[in-house]
Every structure is written in structure tokens, then in C-alpha cells.
Amino acid sequence: MAAFEVLNQKGEKVSDITLSDDVFGVEVKKDILNTVVRMQLSARRAGTASVKGRSDVKGSTAKLFRQKGTGRARRGDIKSPVLRGGGVAFGPNPRSYDIKVTKKVRKLAKKMAVSSKSQVSSMLVLDKLELEAVETKKFVEILEALKIKNALFVVDKADEKIFLSSRNIPGVKVLHVDGLNVYDVLKYKHLIFLESSVKEIERRLT
């Protein structure tokens, strides 16, 4: 169990929190992280690209001209892939790009992702994150106080003021604990938890 500083929105230390080694002190294995990230990115692909082959194109199957005596190539029917309007050879067809990864491995990868941030001092814990109104300027002031520009905020309660105030800031994303994923954790330079969301993450991943 490791002690971790808890900061306020002004970047000042207010207390300490004990982090579970079973979640934030896991050995990081790049191959597992790579597999889960590829799974996430592959799941985004629609796989709906489709073309017509020569058997799908409308047209006569009659031979265009006689086999010999014309001095030309031995042409078949008009649906040949080498002719304009013909079918496509070896073109894409609807398919699934999904990569199957077990639930156990996905859970382990999340632990490794958050551990990779805590082990290189790229993780912060805030006591709370509150705004009086939807105001991007105020959220930028919080970032400046914490001395960060690129960060993923993980909150345990959906606060519309926080989400709306941060959505237009480049390099910043606010995510609910339900949506915590390996790709977003690794994508952003800093990972910022609320003190309450840390407990929720430990409960889910332990």
C-alpha cells in the first residue's frame, strides 16, 4: 500500500491517500496493453466496405469477339475486372475486425494502464472537482494551477458543468469511471482521479 498526495483545485496538498498495490502497483507488460488497445481500435472499424465482383455485375456472359484471328487479347465476357464497368478483383467485403480478449485480460490491462501512470509520476489525485457554472476559462485555470496541459480526468459522478467546460480544451478529456479504458489512459500524458473515483476504481478492479 503506497501513500499518495491529494491536491485541491489550486494544486495545494490537502491530505494523503493510500493506494492499493493490487491496482496501482501492478507490473506493466507492454504486450498485454498492446493487445487490448488493438482490440479497442479494431472494434471502432465498421467493416462495411463492399464492392461487386464479376459475378455481381450486370452484363452479358457472351464472349466479346472470337478467340483467334483478330490480333487482340483473348477476351472473355464484359464483366472482366480488367474492363471498365467490370467487377472488382479481390475487393473488400463486409467483415468483422473484432479481436477477442478475455474479460480477465481486459481487467488486468486496466490495472497495468493506471499503474504505468502512477509509477512514472504522471498521476494526480484531487479531493474534488467543482465549478459554479459552465465556464471553460475556469477549467483552464484549474489546469494551470495543476501545471498540466494534456490530461484525462476520471470522475465518479456525471457533472454536466465539468463535461461542458472541458470539451473545447485541446488535449483534455473528462471520463466517467464506467468508461475507463486502456486506450484513453495511455493516450493522455497525465491521469487525474478524484479521491472518490479512486475508491470506485479500486472496488471495480480488485
Cell digits of residue 50: 463492399
Q: How many CB atoms lie within 10 A of CB 163?
A: 16
Topology classification of domain 2-44+101-205: Ribosomal Protein L4; Chain: A; (3.40.1370)
Q: Which residues of the chain fall below pLDDT 50?
A: none
**What pLDDT does residue 69 have?**
94
**Cα 166 from Cα 164, distance rounded (Å):** 6
CA distances from 193 to 8, 11, 28, 91, 198 (A): 12, 14, 20, 46, 6
**What pLDDT does residue 158 have?**
84
Q: What are phi and psi of 173, to 5 degrees?
A: -140, 140
**Cα 58 from Cα 67, distance rounded (Å):** 23
Query: What's the pTM value of the predicted model, to 2 decimals?
Result: 0.83
SS (H, E, C) the chain: CEEEEEECCCCCEEEEEEECHHHHCCCCCHHHHHHHHHHHHHHCCCCCCCCCCCCCCCCCCCCCCCCCCCCCCCCCCCCCCCCCCCCCCCCCCCCCCCCCCCHHHHHHHHHHHHHHHHCCCCEEEECCCCCCCCCHHHHHHHHHHHCCCCEEEEECCCCHHHHHHHCCCCCEEEEEHHHCCHHHHHHCCEEEEEHHHHHHHHHHHC
Burial 30-57 (b: 16+ CB within 10 A, else e): eebbebbbebbeeeeeeeeeeeeebeeb
**What pLDDT does residue 1 have?**
59
Q: How many residues does the chain have?
A: 206
Kindly list the domain boundaries of the chain, sorted by start residue. 2-44+101-205, 51-91
**What pLDDT does residue 157 have?**
87
